[in-house]
Amino acid sequence: VLQNRLTGKDCEVPDISPVLFLDTSGQSMRFYVRPGPTKTQLYPLVTNGGGTLCRSQEPGAILLIDPGDATTVTASSGQKYISTRYVTDCVEQKLQLNLDDYEISVGPTWALGLLA
């Protein structure tokens, strides 16, 4: 049982398969999310599912971002970001889902069509 930092009340961690966040070779999937409340919420979900949350942005780590935090700065970094919903949806559905379905598109992509 975890304690919700905001309310101080106990909250249940869902029953998570310990292999949910293992890749096809049996290695832990590595995720990175900026420090803050989102990371605190995702930590037990990822680790109980066999995954790892990295302390720093490591090569090969899956970059998670809350869709509400996505900006054009994120887009100009040239890196692929995955919605934090990926983790919660995998846990809820008890299934490792397709990462590409959760890729965050940020910035004025419509402007690219004007240049063609």
Q: Return the domain boundaries, the chain.
A: 2-104
pLDDT tens-digit profile of 27-83?
A: 999 999 999 999 999 999 999 999 999 999 999 999 999 888 777 555 556 788 999
Contacts of 31 (CB under 8 A, 6+ apart): 21, 42, 46, 51, 52, 53, 54, 61, 62, 63, 64, 87
3-state secondary structure 24-73: CCCCECEEECCCCHHHHHHHHHHHHCCCEECCCCCCCCEEEECHHHCCHH
CATH class of 2-104: alpha beta
d(CA 80, CA 95): 22
Angle at 68 (CA atoms; ends 62, 72), nearest 5 degrees: 75
pLDDT of residue 80: 86
Rounded to two decimals, the pTM is 0.76
Residue-wise pLDDT for 25-37, tens only, equals 999 999 999 999 9
